[in-house]
């Protein structure tokens, strides 16, 4: 019996040793996994921190770029407003400079009329000044509207009154013109005031 007892005791010791080795191995495995998880967690945290820093840096760059663009646009807007104001102040300058010689001619005509005995040369001078003025205005894009004998058009004419038409072919047409109409570069700037045949 001693032998059997010894055998059982030996098996028990081997089992205990194996259990201990297995337990130690599991313990080591758990410690290794914990350590690996800790290292992974630390690496992930480091990546998150570096990604967060990177995103903060990108945000700061985007904000800087936005502020610079906003400032540039604001400067552009102010400069444009200033240029428009200056342009408005001097927009009629070309026309006025072109009309100054006509004004000088009228002053000379007025001085010569004070001493004039004959009306014919004064009339001729005024006609010359009128032609000069018309030529300057035509060069600037002004064009006279022809209305007499044309069919009445509410987009071009302003009817003052209707009168009986002298002939049937003048019904609905412009018979007389009280005030000329004008175009400026093909746009109506003044409607012709007309009398229409009924």
CA distances 120 to 126, 132, 134, 158, Å, are 10, 19, 21, 36
Q: Which two tokens stand for residue 64?
A: 């800087």
Distance CA 197, CA 178 (A): 14
- According to DSSP, the β-strands at 142-144 and 192-197 are unpaired
Task: Report the alpha-carbon distance of residue 150 to residue 173 in Å, rounded.
Answer: 6
Q: Give the pLDDT confidence score for residue 76 in this predicted structure.
A: 95
34 CB-contact burial (10 Å; exposed 0-12 / middle 13-18 / buried 19+): exposed
Predicted confidence at residue 68, as pLDDT, reads 93
Three-class SS of residue 93? Answer: helix
> Which residues make beta-bridge pairs with 193?
158, 179
pLDDT of residue 171: 84
Tens digit of pLDDT at every position of the chain (198 positions): 566 666 676 667 666 555 555 555 555 556 556 665 666 666 566 676 788 888 999 999 999 999 999 999 999 999 999 999 888 887 778 888 888 888 888 888 888 888 878 888 888 888 898 999 999 888 888 888 888 888 888 888 888 888 888 888 888 888 888 888 888 888 888 898 988 888
**Quick one: tokens of 117?**
């005995």
Between CA 117 and CA 55 the distance in angstroms is: 95
Question: In which order are the strands placed within the sheet that holds 182-184?
Answer: 142-144, 182-184, 187-190
């Amino acid at each position: 019996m001693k032998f059997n007892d010894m055998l059982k005791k030996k098996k028990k010791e081997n089992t205990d040793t194996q259990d201990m080795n297995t337990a130690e191995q599991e313990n080591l495995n758990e410690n290794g996994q914990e350590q690996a998880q800790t290292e992974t967690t630390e690496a992930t945290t480091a990546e998150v921190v570096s990604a967060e820093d990177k995103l903060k840096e990108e945000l700061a760059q985007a904000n800087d770029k936005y502020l610079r663009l906003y400032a540039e646009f604001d400067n552009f807007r102010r400069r444009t407003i200033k240029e428009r104001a200056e342009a408005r102040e001097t927009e009629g300058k070309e026309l006025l400079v072109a009309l100054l010689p006509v004004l000088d001619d009228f002053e000379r005509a007025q001085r010569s009329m004070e001493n004039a005995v004959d009306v014919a040369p004064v009339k001729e001078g005024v006609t010359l000044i009128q032609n000069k003025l018309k030529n300057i205005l035509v060069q600037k894009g002004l064009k006279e509207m022809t209305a007499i004998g044309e069919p009445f058009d509410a987009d071009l004419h302003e009817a003052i009154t209707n009168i009986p038409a002298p002939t049937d072919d003048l019904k609905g047409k412009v018979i007389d013109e009280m005030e000329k109409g004008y175009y400026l570069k093909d746009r109506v700037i003044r409607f012709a005031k007309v009398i229409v045949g009924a």
